Chains A and B, each alone.
Chain A
Amino acid sequence: MIWFRKRHLIYFVILILLTWISMDLTNFDLSKFIQLENMISFIQRSFIPPDWSILPFLLRESFVTLGMAFLGTVFALLIGIPLSFAAAHNTSRHYFSYQSVRFFLSGLRSVPEIVFGLIFVVVIGLGPFAAVLAILLHNIGVLGKLISELIEAADKGPQEAMKSVGATHRIGNLFSIIPQIWPNVLSHYFYRFEVAIRTSLVLGFVGGGGLGQQIFNQYQSFYYDGMAVSIIVIMVLVICVDMFGSYVRKRII
């Protein structure tokens, strides 16, 4: 027992127990995998060959999807950064506003995009704009929280230096903190952008437009060889965004 303590054994037992309970709750059943052949033959039968004729149309729809994810997350970043300064204990100025902004952010975060989406589709009508708002609200909560943690962990030295040259509170914080945390902010941003692309697909299922809605329509009308092309477009899209994100991060760090 050099590497482990008795306490660790208890954690291990608890982990096993939780796994077992979850398997029971979710009807986890490996024997069903025997039907894997069914899935392969389903894919062969319906997805292959993909119907490439709809590619130009899907590419146009994929720009709608990208637009939703981009707008939602960019606005979330623009709104989230100022809020995160109010939600970080070292830069907020009043205890009350600090607590209320944190509460507000965690409130936004706790509502999944799909729930916002369902509400906005009803309130402002079907279409991508509802999806943008859903992504926007949820991501203000997420980015606000993540960036406020970066702010709290930032090196205090430059903040002290800005204070000692007589900079105002806001200017001092802005200049001493943003350059320090910027690469990590971008890193979080690109990850959230990638997540938002996938989210916007799900939002498409409830009428949010873009590629997601196309997939849903194709699925419902048994147009599987069209759906295969949609799936390929999505995969390429996510991989491209990921590659672009790492490129930008490398340039900045």
Chain B
Amino acid sequence: MIQLEKVTVRYPKANEDAIKNLSFTLNKGEFVCVLGRSGAGKSTFIRTINGLQPITAGSIQVLEKNYYDLRLEERRKLRSRIGMIFQHFHLIPRLTVRQNVLTGRFGKKKPFQNLLGLFTAEEKALVQHYIERVGLLPFADRKVEQLSGGQKQRVGIARSLMQEPDIFLGDEPVASLDPNTSRSIFRLLQSIHNEKKLVSVLNVHDVSLAKEFASRIIGLNKGEVVFDGTPSELNSKTYEMIYGSDEH
């Protein structure tokens, strides 16, 4: 579902590549965790998948489409099939949980329908369903500012679910949450993943979470893949390749 071939990204004015020559295929049903020190290129990699980050070289095929062959409108449509959640949730302030979740639908509708809030009865039912799915039904009409971090991330997840995505991305989705909350968010992500048969790609810095939930782990170091395997293949040697010996 996602194929990268020698994908390289270099930021303007940087004198090193943020990611170098990444090549691999991510298949339907894989729950991928990406590990690496900060600055290893994890965020950059995740963002190339939905085109938030343009690539400098190589090619990337997502859902049978080459992103860079598409016109702007088609890119937008493709992106609407890829859900993404963020470390700092990136919810829309002052709006309620329900309103925030509805914005997940924006990529599937015409601008004037979004502007005027013209959602179909099915869509309204879907919102209700997904708010319930993430366990926020009692908070559906609260403003998102009043929620805890874990609850905010659940709103983020529900918003992505409204996209009815084929791919789920997460850029350190639990990095601002406590360990218990993190685990419960991962459990939710995993059950949604299995239910909807997605490809999920999530950055984590907590190795134990990756070991517990991932079906595949990709380790990045200085923009290069240094590990690609199952959690059981992670050992102290591979661990050192990913994180290096010098702690910082």
Partners in one complex: yes
Binding site for B on A (CB under 8 A): 157-158, 160-168, 170-172, 174-176, 179-180, 182
B126-157 residues with Cβ-Cβ distance < 8 A to A are 156
A162 to chain B: which residues have CB within 8 Å?
Answer: 92, 103, 106
Report yes or no: A166 in contact with B76, Cβ–Cβ below 8 A. Answer: yes
B160 to chain A: which residues have CB within 8 Å?
Answer: 165
**For residue A157, which residue of chain B has the nearest CB?**
B90
Number of A-B contacts (CB under 8 A): 81
Report yes or no: B93 in contact with A164, Cβ–Cβ below 8 A. Answer: no
A/B interface sample: 19 pairs, CB < 8 A:
A157-B89, A158-B92, A158-B93, A161-B90, A161-B159, A163-B79, A164-B50, A164-B169, A165-B104, A165-B107, A166-B76, A166-B81, A167-B103, A167-B114, A168-B76, A171-B114, A172-B106, A175-B92, A180-B93
**For residue A174, which residue of chain B has the nearest CB?**
B115
Report yes or no: A165 in contact with B94, Cβ–Cβ below 8 A. Answer: no
Q: Is residue B9 contacting chain A, with contact meaning CB distance below 8 A?
A: no
Q: A171-B111, A174-B115 in contact; A164/B91 too (CB < 8 A)?
A: no
B125 to chain A: which residues have CB within 8 Å?
Answer: none
Residue total for B at the interface (Cβ-Cβ under 8 A): 35
Report yes or no: B90 in contact with A165, Cβ–Cβ below 8 A. Answer: no
Specify which of B80, B88, B111, B115 is in contact with A165 (CB 8 Å cutoff). B80
A219 to B89, CA, bound (A): 61
Q: A161-B84, A171-B111, A179-B95 in contact; A166/B106 too (CB < 8 A)?
A: yes
Interchain residue pairs A-B with the least CB separation, the first 10: A166-B107, A166-B80, A157-B90, A167-B106, A161-B90, A179-B94, A164-B84, A166-B79, A166-B76, A171-B114
Q: Looking at the assembled complex, report how far the CB atom of A156 sits from the nearest CB atom of chain B, in whole angstroms.
A: 9
A162 to B76, CA, bound (A): 11
A167 to B159, CA, bound (A): 13
A161 to B163, CA, bound (A): 12
Binary flags per residue of B72-106, CB closer than 8 Å to A gives 1, else 0: 00001111111110101111111100000001111
